[in-house]
Copies of this chain bind each other. A is one copy, B any other.
Amino acid sequence: ETSAKVIDGKAVAKQIKDEIAGEIVRMKDGIGIVPGLAVILVGSRKDSQTYVRNKKKACEAVGIKSYEANLPEDSTEEEVLKHIACFNDDPSVHGILVQLPLPRHMNEEKILNAIGLEKDVDGFHPLNIGRLSMQGRDPLFVPCTPKGCMELLHRYGVEIKGKRAVVIGRSNIVGMPAALLLQKANATISMVHSYTKNPVEITRQADIIISAAGVANLVRGSWIKPGAVVIDVGINPVDDAQSPRGYRLVGDVCYEEACKVASAITPVPGGVGPMTIAMLLSNTLSSAKRIHDFKVHVHSFS
């Protein structure tokens, strides 16, 4: 019985963070600039607080200065926009991100559009997504999670050009940009979503599968062509009496089945998750370099 190679996102992310830390030292020594990332959190969702805390810790670990604005759940849109405007004008801030989801009473589109394009390290601005969609145009920033998926494929030497790629899920932040990136790399893409009638049949044709549906155990062994590469973006809680918290986190892919069919697969946790944060740091560093026209070292992951 074969067993898939494990794509170790945690190890790759560590390597990338080490590279970033080195570049930040060189940047500070060279031009006295330290990259800065501002995170805006509205409300007090536990999961969002955890994400923000992790981003902050990751920044500190590589030498990025982090700025935080914590606003109460019942803030007005204007208050959020005021904070964004401040960070847009602040020359020590090179990246701004608004932790999603926002409270229901806020217009996400309006708020995200207020982030200055050159500081939009999440890459969610429609102008940025447009450039990502278009041939011959390049986005200023590639959204972090899909960028992390591509980086894993690159670092594990997975050929993309001419391959069939299936992306499960089409959200603005993961599935859709992941498909656009695979297409830019000349894969032949198909997109599976909740209206897809025959997801198994389509997914089984793929040489590369990226799953970002948010459904535990959606992708069974039977969905996977023998030898395919599987990138599992999903992070889904499932009941687990053994765990002190009463649940544990799993991906979209039924790992035990998949690792017998796939040639390579990302685990959950330890796959795409750590890469997302590493790419956020990478985007923040790139932004600081671009703003200060710092070119000492050609950054290898774009």
Interface residues of A (CB under 8 A from B): 109, 125-137, 161-162, 164, 170-172, 176, 180, 183, 186-193, 195-198, 202
**Bound form: Cα–Cα A84–B195 in Å:** 42
Chain B positions within 8 Å of A180 at CB level: 133
Shortest C-beta distance, A111 to chain B (Å), equals 13
Distance A176 CA – B170 CA, assembled complex (angstroms):
15
Assess the B191–A183 pair: CB atoms within 8 A.
yes
Given contacts A130-B127, A176-B134, whether A190 and B193 have CB atoms under 8 Å apart is no
9 more contacts with CB within 8 A, not counting A129-B130, A188-B196, are: A109-B136, A125-B130, A127-B127, A130-B131, A132-B133, A135-B172, A170-B183, A186-B193, A188-B197
Give the Cβ gap from A96 to chain B, nearest Cβ, in Å: 18
For A129, give its contact among B134, B136, B161, B170 (CB under 8 Å): B134
Closest to A129 in B: B130
A270 to chain B, nearest CB (A): 29
Q: State whether A126 touches B135 (Cβ < 8 A).
A: no
Q: How far is the CB of A276 from chain B (nearest CB, A)?
A: 19
Instruction: State which of B125, B127, B133 has its C-beta within 8 Å of the C-beta of A176.
Output: B133
| Top-7 shortest CB links A-B | A130-B130, A126-B130, A129-B130, A190-B190, A186-B195, A188-B196, A127-B127
Contacts of A161 in B (CB 8 A): 195
Distance, CA A161 to CA B197, complexed state (A):
10
B197 to A162, Cβ gap below 8 A?
Answer: yes
* Nearest opposing residue in chain B for A125, CB measure: B130
Complex Cα gap A128–B60 (Å): 37
**A151, B43: Cα distance in complex, Å:** 44
**Inside 8 A of A202's CB, which chain B residues have their CB?**
164, 188
Q: List 29 A-B contacts (CB under 8 A).
A: A109-B136, A125-B130, A126-B127, A126-B130, A126-B133, A127-B127, A127-B130, A129-B130, A130-B132, A130-B133, A133-B180, A134-B176, A135-B176, A136-B172, A161-B195, A162-B195, A162-B196, A162-B197, A164-B197, A164-B202, A170-B183, A183-B191, A187-B195, A188-B195, A188-B197, A189-B190, A189-B191, A190-B190, A190-B191
Contact A191 B192 (CB under 8 A): no
Please, how many angstroms separate the alpha-carbon atoms of A123 and B252 in the complex?
36
How far is B132's CA from A161's CA once the two chains are assembled, in angstroms? 25
Interface core residue of A127, A130, A187, A202 (most chain B CB under 10 Å)? A130
Q: CA–CA, A153 to B7, complex, Å?
A: 43
CB-defined contacts of A198 to chain B, threshold 8 Å: 164
In the complex, what distance in Å separates the CA atom of A126 from the CA atom of B125?
11
Residue of B nearest to A191 (CB): B189
Q: Is the CB of B133 within 8 A of A133?
A: yes
Other-chain residue from B109, B130, B135 in contact with A170 (beta carbon distance below 8 A)? B135
- CB-CB under 8 A from A136, the residues of chain B are 109, 172
